[in-house]
Amino acid sequence: MDEILEILEGNSRYSEDEIAVMTGKSVEEVHKAIKEYEEQNVIVGYTTLINWEKTSRESVLALIEVKVTPQRGEGFDKVAERIYKFKEVKACYLMSGGFDLTVIVEGKTMKDVALFVAEKLAVQEHVLSTSTHFVLKKYKDKGVIFNKKPEDDREVLFI
């Protein structure tokens, strides 16, 4: 049934009818499968990929490397939870290697992000250090290359 997930991951706007045709299943089967995925939180949500740079909205994105002292019995989860609950945090991953958490933060301006780091993130108990990197340009996100609409430039020929 994972094919339905693949299709929705590529384009969540396909209707159940369309997905049924694509997969060769009945509409009822597709409906039931999607419902189950939603209930089990396999499908966590539906979003739209937007290139905000092309709009008038001002925003900046930063990737912050965070070093943390893990807690006895809880590892990193408790600290991570205190961090990812902030609405400014768009993504939060536990990492292997030289630091522990990647925290992706969005703000209106660089100052906003810097203040967030200084006032909310760096001061968390068990956070040892932070290192903030601002995103200058998004080339590709979620597997999609930005700023380049694929076009069909195949020439007509006789085959």
Judge whether 103 and 121 are in contact, CB under 8 Å. yes
Q: At CB < 8 A and 24+ separation, what contacts does 80-88 make? A: 82/124, 83/121, 83/124, 86/116, 86/120, 88/113, 88/116, 88/120
Question: Are the C-beta atoms of residues 61 and 105 closer than 8 Å to each other?
Answer: yes
Q: Is 3 in the site for another protein (CB under 8 A)?
A: yes
CB of 92 to another protein, least distance (A): 30
Smallest distance, Å, CB 32 to another protein? 19
Give CA–CA dist 17/31, Å, rounded.
9
Q: Which span sits near another protein by CB under 8 A: 14-22, 37-45, 81-89, 115-123? A: 14-22
Q: Which of 1, 8, 23, 60 binds another protein (CB under 8 A)?
A: 23
User: Which of helix, strand or coil describes residue 16?
Assistant: helix
- Does position 18 interact with another protein (CB under 8 A)? The reply is yes
Residue 154 lies near another protein (rule: CB under 8 A): yes
By CB under 8 A, residue 5 contacts another protein = no
DSSP state of 37: H
Closest approach of another protein to the CB of residue 22, in Å: 4
Contact (Cβ atoms closer than 8 angstroms) between residue 107 and residue 113: yes
Options 1, 7, 63, 122; binder of another protein; rule CB under 8 A: 7
Determine, following the binding rule CB under 8 A, whether residue 44 of this chain makes contact with another protein: no
Contacts with another protein by CB under 8 A lie at 3, 6-7, 11, 18, 21-24, 150, 152, 154-159
